[in-house]
Amino acid sequence: MKAIRIVTLAIALCAAGASVGAAQGQSQGVGRGAGAGGMLLRDITLTDAQKVQQKAIREKYAPKLLSIRKYAETTGMPEDDASRAKMLKIQAEQAAELRAILTAEQQTVFDRNIAEIRAQREERERNG
């Protein structure tokens, strides 16, 4: 449960960029800061095959995440608890799929990145 929560929090930070890029129809390269997993994949060099898989994962989940955000924008209402829970579930699934394409060594770095992202988030929350 804790691992899912960590992955969910980390992917939430990355998914916003993927959704915005998909909404604008921009083509982003794969790598650091590009699409889903940008922060999660920091210091991880993907093979060409992994890049293709990452792109497919990003393209699979971006429309789902965008639809939730778009609803909040068009209604002018903040995301409710149900929408937020749905988004977190989708983001956790996306992170799990992304982690699954990595080698054991890459997964270690991925997990470290998640821990760093979580620590940064907790620090921001403490400092207001």
Q: State residue 117's pLDDT score.
A: 85
Residue 87 predicted with pLDDT over 90? no
Determine whether 2 is exposed, middle or buried from the number of CB atoms within 10 Å of its CB (0-12, 13-18, 19+). Answer: exposed
> Greater confidence, 117 or 103?
103
Residue 51 tokens read as 């890049």
Number of domains in the chain: 1
Residue 89 lies in domain: 2-127
> Greater confidence, 4 or 123?
123
* pLDDT tens column, 105-125: 999 999 999 899 889 988 988
Taking the C-alpha atoms of residue 112 and residue 19, their distance in angstroms, rounded to an integer, is 24
